[in-house]
Amino acid sequence: MRPIDAALQLAARQHGAIQTRQARDLGVSCSVIDRLVRQGHWRRVHDGVSIIHACLPRETEARAVRPSLLLTRLTAALLAVGPDAFVAGESAAHLWRLQGLPRWRWADPVHVIIPPHGASRTTRGVVQHTWEITREEMVVHQGLQVTAPGRTLRDTVLRVDRQCAVSLMDSALNRSLVRVGELEGLEAANRNRRGSRRTRSWWGQADPRAESTFETRVRLICTDGGLPPDELQHPFFTPSGAFAGRVDMYWRSRRLAIECDGREPHRRPEVLANDRRRQNALALVQPRIHLVRLTWEDLRLPEYILDCVRLTPTLDADQGD
């Protein structure tokens, strides 16, 4: 096999990233590497680490490309820092696909945990942390060394605002990456860390029923305004008992249902059509339900969201569902 083909195979196994040392060990000379970089076939992303464009996904399907490029970016960072590094913090949250953080971008710094005194030099685009960590808090996921979901929450919650933190917790719970019974221990393990006092009460606000960061943020607005929903993911049934649909949030005493239409999925034509069918089905079996649909832009108007609940009249006790 030609050295360049061997390098391509290795890079493909490493999500498109390769160390200069690895390429040279396979017989690819420095002059060949320099030529490939000049020609745009390879791209140096760190000192001694390149990505090979032929190994990267084609941008024909954006939904597939973004996670793949995340793996490439994280792999390149680990190759640059060294074998003892683990992806951590916000970068680990993205790798676990937790919802709540701003959308990942290639230019975002990569956060890693390294052993104390483990880094000999700084690496541009990589933030190296020397947080104390146990072996049980480190795992391999999608071929990369990364902090376990619970540890990822512990580290990231300390670095973000409340809405983002609770969204991350909700997402981890909803996807069964963390159990509700573990949250108290995670909060306790964070005590004495910088930011732990500010975040202590947030751990008790998580709910595994939330299916998106949008739902989490609306719930927090309503709860802070003294109007928490009675139920999340409330189901409705036909008179014969058949399942008719469910709503994101429900206030029983007001017969008020709120649906949170997110930034992207609910704007696709096929999803919009499905949403309308669900709404029509709900109206047929529960004609007295007040249904409010919110969009992501409504988060800028918390009083509007509260008014949607506050101005819906309550029912007498014998009128509730």
Q: How does pLDDT run across 166-222, given as a tens digit for each residue? A: 999 999 999 999 999 999 999 999 999 999 999 999 999 999 999 999 999 999 999
Banded pLDDT at 237 (limits 50, 70, 90): confident
pLDDT at 294 over 80: yes
**Cα–Cα distance between 251 and 286 in angstroms, integer?**
14
Q: Which of 55, 81, 96 corresponds to the end of one domain?
A: 55
What pLDDT, on a 0 to 100 scale, did the predictor assign at position 62?
46
Beta carbons within 10 angstroms of residue 219's beta carbon = 24
CA distances from 234 to 17, 231, 242, 249 (A): 46, 6, 14, 7
H or E, element range at 259: strand 256-261
Domain that holds residue 168: 62-205
- 116/175 same-domain check: yes
Let me know whether 77 and 24 are in one domain. Answer: no
The CA-to-CA distance between both ends of the chain, in Å, stands at 71
Strands 290-295, 256-261: parallel, antiparallel or unpaired by DSSP? parallel
**Do 221 and 194 share a structural domain?**
no
Q: Where are the beta strands (DSSP E) in 85-191?
A: 86-87, 110-113, 126-129, 138-141, 144-147
| Distant-in-sequence, close-in-space partners of 115: CB < 8 Å, separation ≥ 6 | 84, 130
Question: Do residues 124 and 23 share a domain?
Answer: no
pLDDT band at 61 (very low <50, low <70, confident <90, very high): very low
User: With left for phi above 0 and alpha for psi between -120 and 50, is residue 89 left, alpha or beta?
Assistant: left
**110: pLDDT strictly greater than 50:** yes
Query: Do residues 66 and 39 both lie within one domain?
Result: no
Bridge partners, residue 27, by sequence:
none
Residue 84 and residue 181 in one domain: yes
Residue with tokens 């959308």: 103
Question: Are 184 and 253 within one domain?
Answer: no
My answer on whether 159 and 234 are in the same domain is no
The pair of structure tokens assigned to 230 is 């009675």
Tens digits of residue pLDDT in 264-292:
544 566 666 677 777 777 776 777 889 99
Same domain? For 152 and 235 the reply is no
Handedness of CA 126, 131, 136, 137 (dihedral sign): negative
Q: Of the spans 54-63, 281-290, 303-312, which averages the highest pLDDT?
A: 303-312
pLDDT band at 121 (very low <50, low <70, confident <90, very high): confident
pTM value > 0.85: yes
Mean pLDDT, the chain, rounded, equals 91
100 and 194 share one domain: yes
Q: Both tokens of residue 261? A: 């239409």
- Do 96 and 193 belong together in one domain? yes
**Looking at the predicted structure, is the pLDDT value of residue 98 above 90?**
yes
Among 205, 222, 239, the domain-final residue is: 205
92 and 185 belong to one structural domain: yes
β-sheet with 17-19: strand ranges across: 17-19, 49-52, 42-46
Give the integer Cα–Cα distance in Å for 121 and 83.
14
From 162, 188, 205, give the residue that closes a domain: 205
Number of structural domains the chain divides into: 3
The pLDDT score that the predictor gives to residue 114 is 94
Distant-in-sequence contacts of 150-153, Cβ < 8 A, 24+ apart: 150/178, 150/182, 150/186, 151/88, 152/88, 152/89, 152/92, 152/93, 152/96, 152/98, 153/93, 153/98, 153/178, 153/186
- Residue 290 main-chain phi, psi, to 5 deg: -90, 115
Residue 47 reports pLDDT greater than 60: yes
C-beta of residue 228 within 8 angstroms of C-beta of residue 234: no
Q: CATH number, domain at 219? A: 3.40.960.10
The pLDDT of residue 60 is above 70 = no
